[in-house]
A and B are shown apart, each in its own frame.
Chain A
Amino acid sequence: MAEPLTGAQILCRALLEEGVELLFGYPGGAIMPFYHALPEYPGLRHVLVRHEQAAAHAADGYARASGQPGVCVATSGPGATNLVTGIATAHMDNTPLVAITGQVPRAMIGRDAFQETDIIGITQPITKHSRLVEDVEELADAVHEAFAVAREGRPGPVLLDVPKDVQNQKAEWGGGAEGRNAPPFRGSAAPPQLQFALVEAARLIGRAERPLIMAGHGIILSDAYAELRELAERTGIPVITTLLGISAFPESHPLHLGMPGMHGEVHVNRAIQQADLIIGIGLRFDDRVTGNLAAFARGAKVIHIELDASEIGKNVPVTVGLVGDARAILGALLEAVERRHCDAWRAEIESFVRPRVESFKGGLSPEGILVALEEATAGRCTIVSDVGQHQMWVAKLFRYQRPNTHITSGGLGTMGFAVPAAMGVALARPNEPVWAISGDGGFQMNMQEIATMVQERIPVKMAIFNNGYLGMVRQWQQFFHGRRYSATPIWSPDYVRFAEAYGIPGFRVERADQVDGVVRAALAHDGPALVEFLIEQEANVFPMIPPGASLSEPIESEAVTA
Chain B
Amino acid sequence: MTTQRAVTVLLEDRLITFNRAVGLIRRRNLPVRSIAVGPTVTPGISRLTIMIQSDEATADRAVQQLQKVVGVRQAVAFPARDGVTRELALVKVRATADRYGELLDVVQLYHASVVDDNPDATIVELTGSEAFVLSCIRALERFEILEVARSGAVALEAGLTEAGAHAPATI
Residues on A lying within 8 angstroms of B by beta carbon are 120-121, 124-125, 128-129, 131-132, 149, 183, 185-189, 308-310, 313-314
Contacting pair A310 B70 (CB below 8 A): no
Q: Which 9 A-B pairs give the minimum distances between C-beta atoms? A: A310-B64, A188-B64, A129-B70, A310-B65, A309-B64, A188-B67, A125-B27, A124-B23, A310-B61
Contacting pair B70 A124 (CB below 8 A): no
- Say which residue of A120, A124, A132, A310 sits within 8 Å of B68 (CB atoms): A310
Verify if B16 is at the interface (C-beta below 8 Å from A).
yes
Chain B: which residue is nearest A314 at the CB level? Answer: B61
Chain B: which residue is nearest A186 at the CB level? Answer: B67
Contacting pair B16 A132 (CB below 8 A): yes
Contacts of B19 in A (CB 8 A): 121, 124
Verify if B57 is at the interface (C-beta below 8 Å from A).
yes
Verify if B150 is at the interface (C-beta below 8 Å from A).
no
Verify if B86 is at the interface (C-beta below 8 Å from A).
no
Contacting pair A313 B27 (CB below 8 A): no
Identify the interface centre among A120, A149, A183, A186: most chain B CB within 10 Å of its CB.
Answer: A186
Interfacial residues of chain B within 30-66, with CB under 8 A of chain A in the complex: 57, 61, 64-65
Contacting pair A188 B70 (CB below 8 A): no
Q: How many residues of B contact A (CB 8 A)?
A: 12
In the bound assembly, the distance between CA atoms of A125 and B26 in angstroms comes to: 10
Nearest-Cβ distance from residue B66 to partner chain A, whole angstroms: 9
Q: Interface 1/0s, chain B 64-81, versus A by CB < 8 A?
A: 110110100000000000
Contacts of B16 in A (CB 8 A): 120, 131-132
Contacts of A187 in B (CB 8 A): 67-68
Known contacts: A132-B16, A310-B61, A313-B61. The answer to whether A125 contacts B67 by CB under 8 A is no
In the bound assembly, the distance between CA atoms of A282 and B64 in angstroms comes to: 17
Contacts of A124 in B (CB 8 A): 19-20, 23
Residues on B lying within 8 angstroms of A by beta carbon are 16, 19-20, 23, 27, 57, 61, 64-65, 67-68, 70
Contacts of A183 in B (CB 8 A): 70
Chain A: which residue is nearest B67 at the CB level? Answer: A188
Q: List 13 A-B contacts (CB under 8 A).
A: A121-B19, A125-B27, A132-B16, A185-B70, A186-B67, A186-B68, A188-B64, A188-B67, A189-B64, A309-B64, A310-B65, A313-B57, A313-B61
Contacts of A309 in B (CB 8 A): 64
Question: A128-B70, A131-B16, A149-B70 given. 19 additional CB < 8 A pairs?
Answer: A120-B16, A124-B19, A124-B20, A124-B23, A125-B27, A132-B16, A186-B67, A186-B68, A187-B68, A188-B67, A188-B68, A189-B64, A308-B68, A309-B64, A310-B61, A310-B64, A310-B65, A310-B68, A313-B61
Nearest-Cβ distance from residue B53 to partner chain A, whole angstroms: 19
Contacts of A121 in B (CB 8 A): 19
Nearest-Cβ distance from residue B159 to partner chain A, whole angstroms: 20
Nearest-Cβ distance from residue B54 to partner chain A, whole angstroms: 14
- Say which residue of B23, B61, B68 sits within 8 Å of A125 (CB atoms): B23
In the bound assembly, the distance between CA atoms of A125 and B16 in angstroms comes to: 13
Nearest-Cβ distance from residue A154 to partner chain B, whole angstroms: 8
Chain B: which residue is nearest A185 at the CB level? Answer: B70
Known contacts: A124-B20, A125-B27. The answer to whether A189 contacts B67 by CB under 8 A is yes
Contacts of A125 in B (CB 8 A): 23, 27
Identify the interface centre among B16, B19, B20, B64: most chain A CB within 10 Å of its CB.
Answer: B64
In the bound assembly, the distance between CA atoms of A189 and B19 in angstroms comes to: 22
Nearest-Cβ distance from residue B163 to partner chain A, whole angstroms: 13
Contacts of A189 in B (CB 8 A): 64, 67
Nearest-Cβ distance from residue B47 to partner chain A, whole angstroms: 18
Identify the interface centre among A183, A187, A188: most chain B CB within 10 Å of its CB.
Answer: A188
Nearest-Cβ distance from residue A110 to partner chain B, whole angstroms: 12
Chain A: which residue is nearest B73 at the CB level? Answer: A186
In the bound assembly, the distance between CA atoms of A506 and B158 in angstroms comes to: 72
Contacts of A131 in B (CB 8 A): 16
Contacts of B23 in A (CB 8 A): 124-125
Nearest-Cβ distance from residue A144 to partner chain B, whole angstroms: 13
Chain A: which residue is nearest B23 at the CB level? Answer: A124
Contacts of B61 in A (CB 8 A): 310, 313-314
In the bound assembly, the distance between CA atoms of A149 and B69 in angstroms comes to: 10
In the bound assembly, the distance between CA atoms of A120 and B27 in angstroms comes to: 16
Nearest-Cβ distance from residue A400 to partner chain B, whole angstroms: 31
In the bound assembly, the distance between CA atoms of A310 and B63 in angstroms comes to: 8
Nearest-Cβ distance from residue B72 to partner chain A, whole angstroms: 8
Chain B: which residue is nearest A313 at the CB level? Answer: B57
Chain A: which residue is nearest B20 at the CB level? Answer: A124
Nearest-Cβ distance from residue B148 to partner chain A, whole angstroms: 30
Contacts of B27 in A (CB 8 A): 125
Nearest-Cβ distance from residue A469 to partner chain B, whole angstroms: 34
Nearest-Cβ distance from residue A188 to partner chain B, whole angstroms: 4
Contacts of B68 in A (CB 8 A): 128, 186-188, 308, 310
Contacts of A149 in B (CB 8 A): 70
In the bound assembly, the distance between CA atoms of A387 and B27 in angstroms comes to: 25
Contacts of A308 in B (CB 8 A): 64, 68
